[in-house]
Amino acid sequence: MNNDGIRKISFRRLAAVVNKEFIHIMRDSRSLAMAFLMPVILLFIFGYGITMDIKSLNMGIYDMDKTAESRELIERFKASGYFKIVGTVSSGKEIDRMIDRNIAHMVLVIPEGFSGSVKKGIPVDIQAIYDGSDANTTSIAMGYTEAIASRYSLSKGAKGLSGQIDLRLRVWYNPELKSRWFIIPGLIAIIMGVISALLTSLTVSREWEQGTMEQLLSTPIHPVELFLGKITPYFLIGMIDLLISVAVGVWVFGVPLRGSLLFLLAVSSLFLVGGLSLGILISTVAKSQLVASQAAFVLTLLPAFMLSGFLYSIDNMPVFIQKITYAVQSRYFVTVIKDIFLKGNHPSVLIREILFLFAFTAVVFTAAIKKFKKNMG
């Protein structure tokens, strides 16, 4: 923006545009619902609906040994709290029926002679048959099974297992491995990005469709004043939404906020400006509320969920997909907000993500202003 453009900007006219936009928002119940209710609703739905924790796995038992030792092993599975015994079988065909009909996620098979091998302290093979149609549940169940079986072997002094390794595990930042602790912070970032872009994606296109844009162009208002006046109310709403979401995350879902709230607000401000600018850019190009809302959905929600690292690790993606993620704004904000919530690191640790976020915001903000001024000129 040149000096001439700065001199032309009137804060009185800017305040008038901001006031006009606030009045429109207050009169539009749909905008109010989207602005304040949708973030909270989405947070509750996804917060309770998305979970990586497996609390109950249905397990069948095929105990061919029927001894005190085999019953002790079964009791260890029950006592773990992760497995629920849903039935016993007496043949291989019954195993097939139990898994085919989704009665059990897995069936534990204890062979004959299990007790004798345990008493002699020699390794013994037991079998666990899983329903692999749900890969995530199966992988977790396999981990639980291996841990319980290993502890049982160590307690009985099976050869090759006892006394060689004393492994002590310690988990930092999320000792109980609660999935909500990393889902909720990332979810706040996703919701804020989507809501900010969706809200502003309708502002300019709505003016064109309602025929009020021509009236605005006939006034002495400067395009930059109109642009800033359009995003300012939504910026304030976005910050209120952020505070509400953080409060819900901390007080309802119990996620700790270990970092600085001021640092979170500062980074969120940068993120919101980028998201709001993207929405204005979409709205300016589309000139249709339907097209603008669809474009905002495709350009924000899908990349945010799939390519931000919110649920899926970016390091495990193909190399060309990893390169695409650099253009996804939510990638950087998800990393920062998770760190602020769970680790509380100094801002200098996150300088790379902050610089990328600043670069994205600067590029989108500049592009949005240029396109806006060109269409308004």
Query: Which of 336-358 are b and which e, b meaning 16 or more Cβ less than 10 Å from the residue's Cβ?
Result: bbbbbbbeeeeeeebeebbebbb
**Does residue 63 sit within a domain?**
yes
Tokens of 208: 């064109």
| Predicted local distance difference test score (pLDDT) of residue 165 | 41
Tokens of 64: 């061919």
- Taking the C-alpha atoms of residue 184 and residue 180, their distance in angstroms, rounded to an integer, is 6
Residue 10 shares a structural domain with residue 63: no
| Predicted local distance difference test score (pLDDT) of residue 217 | 62
| Predicted local distance difference test score (pLDDT) of residue 213 | 64
Examine the fold and report which residue of 97, 123, 156 is the final residue of a domain before the chain moves on: 156
CATH of the domain at 80: 3.40.1710.10
Residue 250 shares a structural domain with residue 343: yes
Q: What is the pLDDT along the chain (377 residues), one digit of tens a residue?
A: 444 444 466 777 778 778 877 777 777 767 677 777 878 888 888 777 776 667 778 999 999 999 998 899 999 999 888 899 999 998 888 888 888 888 888 999 998 988 888 787 777 778 899 988 777 778 888 888 888 888 887 776 654 443 444 445 566 787 777 778 888 998 888 888 878 877 777 777 776 666 666 666 666 677 777 788 888 888 988 899 899 999 999 999 999 999 999 999 999 999 999 988 888 888 877 777 777 778 877 888 778 888 888 877 787 788 898 899 888 888 999 999 999 998 988 899 899 999 999 999 999 999 888 887 776 65
The 8-class DSSP code of residue 62 comes to E
Residue 210 shares a structural domain with residue 321: yes
**CB of 365 closer than 8 Å to CB of 275:** no
Residue 99 shares a structural domain with residue 26: no
Helix (H) / strand (E) containing 129: strand 127-130
**Does residue 131 sit within a domain?**
yes
Tokens of 213: 């844009």
**Does residue 166 sit within a domain?**
no
Query: In sequence order, which ranges of the chain are alpha helices (DSSP H)?
Result: 3-8, 11-27, 29-32, 38-49, 68-79, 92-100, 114-120, 135-156, 179-201, 203-210, 213-217, 223-251, 261-286, 289-296, 302-307, 319-324, 329-338, 351-376
Amino acid identity for residue 63 in this structure: D
- Taking the C-alpha atoms of residue 336 and residue 360, their distance in angstroms, rounded to an integer, is 15
The 8-class DSSP code of residue 34 comes to I
- Taking the C-alpha atoms of residue 148 and residue 169, their distance in angstroms, rounded to an integer, is 15
Domain containing 102 equals: 57-156
**Rg for the chain (alpha carbons), in Å?**
28
**Does residue 45 sit within a domain?**
yes
**Does residue 307 sit within a domain?**
yes
Rounded to two decimals, the pTM is 0.75
The 8-class DSSP code of residue 350 comes to G
Residue 33 shares a structural domain with residue 90: no
Tokens of 144: 């639980």
Residue 77 shares a structural domain with residue 23: no
Residue 241 shares a structural domain with residue 124: no
**Does residue 173 sit within a domain?**
no
- Taking the C-alpha atoms of residue 206 and residue 25, their distance in angstroms, rounded to an integer, is 12
Residue 104 shares a structural domain with residue 8: no
DSSP string, 258-327: -S-HHHHHHHHHHHHHHHHHHHHHHHHHH-SHHHHHHHHIIIIIHHHHHHSSSSS-GGGS-HHHHHHGGG
CA 264 to chain centre: 17
Amino acid identity for residue 49 in this structure: G
- Taking the C-alpha atoms of residue 168 and residue 283, their distance in angstroms, rounded to an integer, is 56
Residue 24 shares a structural domain with residue 92: no
Residue 239 shares a structural domain with residue 334: yes
Half-sphere exposure of 339 (CA within 13 A, CB side): 19
- Taking the C-alpha atoms of residue 88 and residue 68, their distance in angstroms, rounded to an integer, is 16
**CB of 141 closer than 8 Å to CB of 153:** no
**Does residue 106 sit within a domain?**
yes
- Taking the C-alpha atoms of residue 373 and residue 224, their distance in angstroms, rounded to an integer, is 7
Residue 247 shares a structural domain with residue 335: yes
Helical axes 203-210 vs 223-251, angle rounded to 10°: 130
Number of domains in the chain: 2
Residue 261 shares a structural domain with residue 343: yes
**Does residue 302 sit within a domain?**
yes
**CB of 221 closer than 8 Å to CB of 9:** no
